[in-house]
Amino acid sequence: MRQEIKSVWPLKPMVVAIGVVLAIAVPAAAFVGGFFAGQNTVVPPSEIDAQIDAFAQVRTLANWEAEVDRQPSAPITRIVAVESGDNLMGVLLRAGAERTVAHAAIQSLKGSYDPRRDLNVGDELQITFGPGTIRTVEDGGSIDTAKYVLARLTIPVSYDRLIDVSRNEKGDFEASEVERQLEREVVEASGTIDSSLFVDASAAGIPPRVLAELIRIYSFDVDFQRDIWQGDKFELMYEQFRDENGDIVHQGDIRYAKLTLRNTEIPLYQYTTTAGNLDYFNAKGNSVRKTLMRTPIDGARLSSRFGKRKHPILGYTRMHAGVDFAAPRGTPIYAAGNGTIVKAGRNGAYGKYIRVRHNGTYQTAYAHLSKFARRTRNGARVKQGQIIGYVGTTGRSTGPHLHYEVLRNGRQINPRSVRIPSGEKLKGAELKKFTALRDARDLEFAQLREAAARLAENTVDEK
């Protein structure tokens, strides 16, 4: 038995379809089955089976055409999530595609998308079926069966890009990468710290990705264990992106943030210099980026300071040559500064250990890791903030934590005592440009804040 695809789209809807696409030829407006944008329906998997069955009742081509005439062939889009152990063929078959058709669709991806490498668990594929016929050749004769046939497939590659596999005029599959049209909005959030920045900012609705970014941009200046007090305040403004269904698909950068720590205000502004460097600057136009980060980990609690202490395992008093940050196993560890990895491997009581050389004077070391990041190996160059490994409890350790050392001329020193050279200072025309942006951001935040306050007031009034 051999199966081949005779035709996929009846001619008439095809012509209509092209008209529709041209009329709305915005790159990603075609996202939800743009062939019949507007007429298309997204049907839950349970219902589509019934629809396919109903359609497959029509056996002959003549009947089928008549049926199509009576019933304007609305394509059906099914959303299927990739599950653990899936491959693309499996997903398409599960959605109801014929194997030969699915194969042709997958073939068309060559050069633009490698499903074996790029398909991720959780990716949501939009799979659209349109009316077509499947010809079955058997014993010298052939039977045409009208069926819903795979017509279009979209695979997300990032929050704002997707691969679109559609039929061309000849009915063959063609893959292209398209930009999704997302709506960008700027969101404000603010609050008072009662227990910790992490806890209270989470409670204020700041998403984890944004919060991690907030901690990172302040980690050059703020020791989150020592500098934060009850009653301190935070405010920030960040971007988020919504898809055509209004769902938030991505949280973008922090544009502005301010921590008020015991009456000291520390505002930061995201700014891209004329040379193209995106960074955070304080109100005077000084970059927050320093040679070394104080805290090369997100949201961790400082659990042991540098200096003499009673060793938790050995029992006697000895020098603690670094600082410990308690954090769950698997928490990412960042390179504290730009540099070269001079050691990545097992190192006695340190367990899995990394040392990074930053310049002729400074090195940093990271111990007790559960595992190394993929590109962490001797001689590899690292950038500040790059993930180099993950928290664990290898070596002589009582529980998951990062033991972090700063070495000056080969000797461990107290990381807090390091005089860290400051980053870029904006000057002249660049500073003028920055100042204008800073003032615009301040105004933007004030307006968002006011709007939010008004909304809250109205909500109260209605009650």
- Contact positions vs Zn ion (CB under 5 A): 322, 324, 403
Of the pair 286, 370, the CB lying nearest Zn ion is at: 370
Residues 364, 411 contacting (CB under 8 angstroms): no
Closest approach of Zn ion to the CB of residue 387, in Å: 20
Of the pair 117, 308, the CB lying nearest Zn ion is at: 308
Closest approach of Zn ion to the CB of residue 309, in Å: 9
Report the C-alpha gap between 196 and 82 in whole angstroms.
37
Of the pair 191, 322, the CB lying nearest Zn ion is at: 322
Of the pair 52, 326, the CB lying nearest Zn ion is at: 326
Closest approach of Zn ion to the CB of residue 377, in Å: 24
Closest approach of Zn ion to the CB of residue 324, in Å: 4
Of the pair 105, 391, the CB lying nearest Zn ion is at: 391
Would residue 197 be called left, alpha or beta, if left means φ above 0 and alpha means ψ between -120 and 50 degrees?
A: alpha
Closest approach of Zn ion to the CB of residue 368, in Å: 8
Of the pair 153, 293, the CB lying nearest Zn ion is at: 293
Closest approach of Zn ion to the CB of residue 195, in Å: 25
Of the pair 147, 403, the CB lying nearest Zn ion is at: 403
Closest approach of Zn ion to the CB of residue 103, in Å: 56
Closest approach of Zn ion to the CB of residue 322, in Å: 5
Four-point Cα dihedral 331, 332, 337, 338, nearest 10: 170
User: Measured at CB, which residue is nearest to Zn ion?
Assistant: 403
Token pair of 108, please?
């068309």
Of the pair 270, 331, the CB lying nearest Zn ion is at: 331
Closest approach of Zn ion to the CB of residue 215, in Å: 21
Closest approach of Zn ion to the CB of residue 365, in Å: 10
Of the pair 220, 353, the CB lying nearest Zn ion is at: 353
Of the pair 164, 324, the CB lying nearest Zn ion is at: 324
